[in-house]
Homo-oligomer: A and B are copies of this chain.
Amino acid sequence: MSLLGKRVTERIKPSVITEMMILVKKHKAISLTAGEPSSEMYPVDLLRETIERALRDPGILSYYPLSTGITELREWIAEWMKEDGLLPQSYGGENVIMTNGSQDGLNLVSEAFIEPGDTVLVENPTYPEALLAFSKEGARFVSVPVDKDGPIIEEMERVLSQNKVKLFYTIVNFQNPSGCVTTEERKKRILELASRYGFLIIEDDPYRYLRYEGKHEGSYIGLAQDEDRVIYLGSFSKIIAPGIRCGYMIVPSKITSQMGELVLATKLSLPAFLQRATWELLRNIDMKAHLAKLADTYRTRRDALHRFLQGKAVPQGMTYDLPKGGFFIWARVPWLKDCFDFAKFAVLEEKVGVVPGAAFYPDVLTADRSTLRLSFAKVPPETAEEAGERLGRALARYKETG
């Protein structure tokens, strides 16, 4: 349609992760694709109860006059984060904006800050749907490689000295896809760089509560205190359920009203009854026990997949570091030349779904096409053996045909 603007004709493109998820579903393959929790872990009964309670007040089904979300949930989130040492004491519910999952938060950040041609610094590799939200508004990307402790400072300094960066987008815990955790030490160095070069840090943190070993690191937003250098994105998708689409962003006080107006222009408000039910759920769930159960389950799944990858895929040349949390094993198969082609082959021929790792690189030309992202979240131990076998067989067969 000739009237379409650049956003849809030039800037956005299909999501590789979504395409793989659909392909996997269609071929009834074992899924190592989605970065989504296992549905047995959703607190469905409690959610049903709290929705039922929320609906006893039909007024909650009217338009909610605050575009930023219901006050009680926003205050709960601020308190929870403060108790956890994540948020400076000066922050409160008024700094919290509810979002339709973190993607909505990413989009709002992009819309609020990005003008065509602005430069966004991202980790290499990183979450491709974040790139979509930024490129939709015409961002150009520069990138910094990560090691197990997060972005490599020397590389970051080099990029910053050569580019006027407006935003730095980072996934701080069990990064998607690499699994790295940015240490407090690195965060402090990067906050200094943010002050020196005048950029804003977008701290995306959906996996924080899925830590299977080791201790939490301090957050950028907590370390920055009142410097107004950080926007934090959180989500209940991984610890409650993605389908409630309940994310949140924490923004500095001086931009809360402008961000609220932006939310209003894009959607008026989100379903308030669902926020009320989520609030009740959060108050009533034994969060510590719930998170411990999640950690136990996913740790077991990680270890099971690890065991069978060691047995079947590593002999085919696969290498990886075991992540301390999150959902993903970030694997490399050095002889693999085209992970996109292999991912299709694996679904069609061996009915096992993986995400081609090259999709996670901001620059398609220098993307490492020997990488694969393997999610263990939806693979119970009893399926992991079969998944490992299928993947090993797919690699062996693909290598032969190669």
Do A267 and B1 touch across chains, with their CB atoms under 8 A apart?
Answer: no
Residues of B within 8 A of A47 (CB): 55, 61
Chain B residue nearest to A237 in the complex (CB): B63
Do A271 and B271 touch across chains, with their CB atoms under 8 A apart?
Answer: yes
* CB of A1 to closest CB in B, whole Å: 5
Query: So how many copies of this chain end up in the complex?
Result: 2
Contact A3 to B261, CB < 8 A, known contacts A62-B241, A100-B270, A107-B266: no
- The interface residues of chain A, by DSSP majority, are classed as helix
Do B58 and A113 touch across chains, with their CB atoms under 8 A apart?
Answer: no
Residues of B within 8 A of A257 (CB): 14
* CB of A29 to closest CB in B, whole Å: 14
Q: Does A290 contact B (CB under 8 A)?
A: no
Residues of B within 8 A of A103 (CB): 264-268
Q: Does A136 contact B (CB under 8 A)?
A: yes
A window 221-278: CB within 8 A of B: 228, 237, 241-245, 252, 254-255, 257-259, 261-262, 264-274
Q: Does A6 contact B (CB under 8 A)?
A: yes
Surface stretch bound by B, among A34-42, A89-97, A294-302, A385-393 = A34-42
Contact A241 to B52, CB < 8 A, known contacts A14-B261, A268-B101: no
A window 28-57: CB within 8 A of B: 34, 36-37, 39-40, 42, 44, 47-48, 51-52, 55
Do A62 and B270 touch across chains, with their CB atoms under 8 A apart?
Answer: no
Checking B3, B48, B65, B114 against A52 with a beta-carbon cut-off of 8 angstroms, the contacting residue is B48
Count of chain A residues near B, Cβ 8 A: 83
Residues of B within 8 A of A21 (CB): 63, 65
Q: Does A402 contact B (CB under 8 A)?
A: no
Q: Does A12 contact B (CB under 8 A)?
A: yes
Q: Does A115 contact B (CB under 8 A)?
A: yes
Contact A55 to B61, CB < 8 A, known contacts A262-B12, A271-B271: no
* CB of A237 to closest CB in B, whole Å: 8
Do B61 and A244 touch across chains, with their CB atoms under 8 A apart?
Answer: yes
Complex alpha-carbon distance, A67 and B15, angstroms? 11
Do A60 and B243 touch across chains, with their CB atoms under 8 A apart?
Answer: yes
Do B274 and A5 touch across chains, with their CB atoms under 8 A apart?
Answer: no
Q: Does A129 contact B (CB under 8 A)?
A: yes
Contact A58 to B40, CB < 8 A, known contacts A12-B265, A243-B272, A270-B100: yes
Interface string of A362-401 (1 = CB under 8 A from B): 0000000000000000000000000000000000000000
Residues of B within 8 A of A237 (CB): 63
The 5 residue pairs across chains A and B that have the minimum distance between CB atoms: A61-B243, A61-B241, A39-B58, A132-B265, A8-B258
Please list 28 pairs of residues, one from A and one from B, whose beta carbons are closer than 8 Å in the complex, sorted by A's number: A1-B200, A1-B252, A3-B166, A4-B255, A5-B112, A7-B111, A8-B112, A8-B262, A12-B258, A12-B261, A12-B265, A15-B261, A21-B63, A22-B65, A34-B63, A39-B58, A39-B61, A42-B58, A47-B61, A48-B51, A52-B52, A61-B243, A63-B242, A100-B267, A101-B268, A129-B264, A129-B268, A245-B269
Interface residues of A (CB under 8 A from B): 1, 3-9, 12-15, 18, 21-22, 25, 34, 36-37, 39-40, 42, 44, 47-48, 51-52, 55, 58-65, 67, 100-101, 103-104, 107, 111-115, 118, 129, 132-133, 136, 166-167, 198-200, 228, 237, 241-245, 252, 254-255, 257-259, 261-262, 264-274
